Structure 1
Amino acid sequence: MIAPNELGYLPETPSQTAGPYVHIGLIPRQAGFDIFDNNLGEAPVGPATKGERIRIEGRILDGSGTLVRDALVEIWQADSFGRYPHPADRQPGPRDEGFRGWARTGTDFETGLWSFETIRPGRVAGRHGHRRMAPHVNLWIVARGLNIGLSTRLYFEDEEAANAEDPVLRMIEPPARRRTLVARREMRGDVPAYVLDIHLQGENETVFFDV
């Protein structure tokens, strides 16, 4: 038998979208299956988490402007000190042991809205001595029709000075596209809410990152 690499090439592995069962496996409660005693990933914060409590939310739209009502959304963010709850984060300074930093949800089947109750992240030190990044939340999106997960970021419109210095935002050209990552501030009662609609295609397509 001749291995494919002996012929000088490797065949492409067939791709497959997330399919309709991603909710059952990853967010079963939303799919109507209360099968786990402890549902993983519904909120990154706990009672002892430090920092300003906020809400982030938005919708996901396809190229025609139609709501994607069955997407899964994950977030990964720093705590209020700008530290990630991961051993690879070796920055000096305090770390919030009461903050998990990661959460998972799905878009509402009726409204298409996704949301998280979290805290405003601190500024994270850039790599190789780069200036600190602006407060941001990393998002990862999967859904039927997407062959790979999409990675993007949410920045805050009331962090204008920090956003202007952010090394990742500054790499995006043309500059007008940077606005697709900046969430507008609204209020939900006494809690600030930052709203970011994610466009998969089209004139207002969100900036996605190859990570």
Structure 2
Amino acid sequence: MSDSHAGLQTTPSQTVGPFFSFGLVWPDGPFVVPEGTPGAVRIGGTVYDGAGAPVPDAVVETWQADPDGRFDHPDDPRGAVRWKDFRGFGRSATDPEGRYSLLTVKPGPLPAAGGGREAPHLNVSVFCRGMLVRLVTRIYFPDEEANAEDPVLTSIEEARRATLIAAIAGSEPPVTRPRGYRFDIHLQGEHETVFFDL
């Protein structure tokens, strides 16, 4: 390097966005299954920043197995299986109050590496301004006995496991609306959601 460049430093990285609604959102995104699918559940919540304020321009993505614990994907070692109109993938932008919502079905358990089973869960990615990479977490269900034996959930400090378990939100009027689960995502702070380093 010449003397004229000796004092130069690397240009700092830039943060992502905010451009999510322009490039990442599409009308069918929050529908992992079509409206009216028997057994459909709604999963939603609020994305909060480290100060506890809602994040109005985040994107929440989910990837999950079908109710039989199978994937319509060539990487499933048991073979790809298509379950009705299930897509396996969902994407929801947050609204001005930081809320997201997805319509899906509860997944089945999965075989775990080395034997055993993983409890039903959704894999979640969170994208938002100020982050260079996505954050990855999971949503588990509160009414699953299999949670007690899930190798990922049980590897986490017991006091923090609750940040990965959704709360039952109940049915919403009118009665025809699907049962719901609430899962808030805290990016930082006292109630920070557990995120995985992948």
Query: TM over 0.5: same fold?
Result: yes
How many residues in Structure 1 have an aligned counterpart in Structure 2? 187
Q: Say if 1:140 and 1:152, in contact at 8 Å, map to a contact too.
A: yes
Please state if 1:83 is matched with 2:70. yes
Q: How does 1:155-194 map to 2 (within 5 A)?
A: 155-159=140-144, 161-173=145-157, 175-187=158-170, 188-189=172-173, 190=175, 191-194=178-181
CA distance in 2, matches of 1:95, 1:199: 33
Counterpart residue identity of residue 150, structure 2:
D
Shift of 1:98: 2.6
Shift of 1:63: 1.4
CA distance in 2, matches of 1:141, 1:58: 13
Counterpart residue identity of residue 116, structure 1:
L
Shift of 1:16: 2.9
**Of 9, 20, 27, which residue of structure 1 is paired with 2:18?**
20
Cα offsets for 1:152-174 (capped at 9, x unmatched): 01111111x1100111001112x
Compared with structure 1, are the counterparts of its residues 136 and 53 closer, same or farther at alpha carbon in structure 2 (3 Å cutoff)? same
Please state if 1:46 is matched with 2:46. no
**Of 140, 143, 147, which residue of structure 1 is paired with 2:125?**
140
Please state if 1:196 is matched with 2:183. yes
Shift of 1:131: 1.1
Unaligned runs of 5+ in 2: 2-8
For normalisation by structure 1, the TM-score amounts to 0.80
RMSD: 2.4
Shift of 1:48: 9.2
Q: Say if 2:124 and 2:137, in contact at 8 Å, map to a contact too.
A: yes
Larger displacement relative to structure 2 (67-76 or 87-96): 87-96
The residue number in structure 2 matching 1:34 is none
SS of 1:167's partner is coil
The residue number in structure 1 matching 2:99 is 113
Counterpart residue identity of residue 154, structure 1:
I
Q: Say if 2:74 and 2:80, in contact at 8 Å, map to a contact too.
A: no
SS of 2:152's partner is helix
Cα offsets for 1:35-56 (capped at 9, x unmatched): xxxx45331113796x621010
CA distance in 2, matches of 1:48, 1:170: 35
Unaligned runs of 5+ in 1: 2-10, 30-38
Counterpart residue identity of residue 146, structure 2:
A
